[in-house]
Amino acid sequence: MNMTSACNYQCPYCFVGLENLKAARDELVLEDKLRVIREAKECGLRVVSMPGRGEPMADRNFWTVLEETERLGLWVVVYTNGCLLDSAQIKQLKDSPVSLFLKVDSFDPDIYEQMVGKQGVFERLRRNLDVLLEHFHEPKIDGDRIITRLGINSVVTAQTAESIPTIHRWCQNHGIYYTCRSPVKVGEAAITWDMLVQDQAERLRAIGQQYTARNFTSSTELGQCGIYLFGITVDNNGEVLVCPDAHSDFGRIGNVKKSSLRELIRRRNEKFPLNSASGYCFVKTHMNSEEKTERE
Ligand SMILES: C[S@@+](CC[C@H](N)C(=O)[O-])C[C@H]1O[C@@H](n2cnc3c(N)ncnc32)[C@H](O)[C@@H]1O
Ligand code: SF4
């Protein structure tokens, strides 16, 4: 479920495009969001993922939606820039059925702030990471696996490439799940591509693969994209999508304001046959030409 498209950051690669980072006029209201979640539960939903067409925590309904998911016995995965959180909220989240996936592109304040397009925010992010470690993060060892509710993801660009090994090591030392990947050429990244990639597409992709076993934030243990394969995306305006990042350039499925979710799931499955290959990304395959040749 994509929450609001508003965001407090201006990342130069953002899927959404900087000019779209504001609340859409046709955004689902709270009642719609709750209805969709209840309907999805009836269709077998177990996990609500909030990948964010924008910053989920900037959605004024965020905490109310969270209460309802908890009441329904659902788990929620929130993708967040982590900057709007405060200590009290982190402590509250600890007792809620929630996992957090924070975006951190660098521990170097200058690079971090360049990559979020905002000055003076790194310190708050750094403090929130410390509070998360102290009050939220309780990794459990299960054989050779670490089960954790805290993840970090990075976008590998020419600016952040040197920062990736440090973030990776830090996550390893703290039992935090880590993924990173090179940019997908959509939204703002389609405009800033030359600056982000600088003819290093191959190198950035290799770094993405070197530092993470699963190259998706949403990856299953078999390396498939869990959201694409097992999920259905409801955008912030109610449009149903193949995946959270498959917006305007892909065929329309329908809108939860007009059709039942069950019917929309049926249409999605009919219109877009699923590819379960490991590493397959619906949007990357269609938008990044170098991925196309390799994956198709
Ligand atoms: C669109 S953001 C929304 C959630 C939250 N605002 C955040 O930044 O984490 C979700 C994730 O998408 C990733 N992302 C955004 N634009 C991207 C792009 N063009 N290519 C690859 N990943 C991208 C970022 O790593 C971010 O963590
Ligand atoms: S990537 Fe996330 S934090 Fe950055 S501008 Fe986009 S929605 Fe905001």
Give the model confidence (pLDDT) of 89-98 as tens digits: 999 999 999 9
Q: Is 183 a pocket residue for ligand 1 (Cβ < 6 Å)?
A: yes
* Averaged pLDDT of the chain: 92
pTM of the model: 0.91
Stronger pLDDT, 287 or 9, i.e. the higher one: 9
Range of the domain at 260: 18-287
Stronger pLDDT, 188 or 213, i.e. the higher one: 188
Does residue 192 lie within any of the structural domains? Answer: yes
Does residue 111 lie within any of the structural domains? Answer: yes
Does residue 6 lie within any of the structural domains? Answer: no
Residue nearest to atom 2 of ligand 1 (CA): 52
pLDDT at 291 (0 to 100): 63
> DSSP letter at 265?
H
The H-assigned helical ranges of 117-243 are 122-135, 164-174, 188-197, 201-210, 226-230
Does residue 199 lie within any of the structural domains? Answer: yes
Listed ranges 68-82, 134-148, 177-191; the one with the highest mean pLDDT? 68-82
Q: How far is the CA of 141 from the centre of ligand 2 (A)?
A: 32
Over pLDDT 90: what percentage of the chain? 75
Q: How far is the CA of 81 from the centre of ligand 2 (A)?
A: 7
pLDDT at 239 (0 to 100): 95
pLDDT at 296 (0 to 100): 41
> DSSP letter at 131?
H
* Mean predicted confidence (pLDDT) in 219-238: 88
At 177, which helix (H) or strand (E)?
strand 177-181
pLDDT at 212 (0 to 100): 84
Burial of 267: CB neighbours in 10 Å, binned 0-12, 13-18, 19+ = middle
Please name the residues in contact with 12: beta carbons below 8 A apart, sequence gap of 6 or more. Answer: 18, 114, 115, 117, 188, 189, 192, 195, 196
CATH of the domain at 167: 3.20.20.70
pLDDT at 57 (0 to 100): 96
Q: Is 16 a pocket residue for ligand 2 (Cβ < 6 Å)?
A: yes
pLDDT at 50 (0 to 100): 95
Q: pLDDT at residue 166 above 70?
A: yes
Query: What's the number of domains the chain is made of?
Result: 1
Q: pLDDT at residue 215 above 70?
A: no
**DSSP letters of 58-127?**
GSTTHHHHHHHHHHTT-EEEEEE-S-S--HHHHHHHHTSSEEEEEE---SSHHHHHHHHT-SS-HHHHHH
Distance of alpha carbon 242 from alpha carbon 240, whole angstroms: 7
Residue nearest to atom 26 of ligand 1 (CA): 103
pLDDT at 110 (0 to 100): 98
Does residue 293 lie within any of the structural domains? Answer: no
Distance of alpha carbon 114 from alpha carbon 151, whole angstroms: 22
Q: How far is the CA of 15 from the centre of ligand 1 (A)?
A: 6
Does residue 5 lie within any of the structural domains? Answer: no
Q: Is 81 a pocket residue for ligand 1 (Cβ < 6 Å)?
A: yes
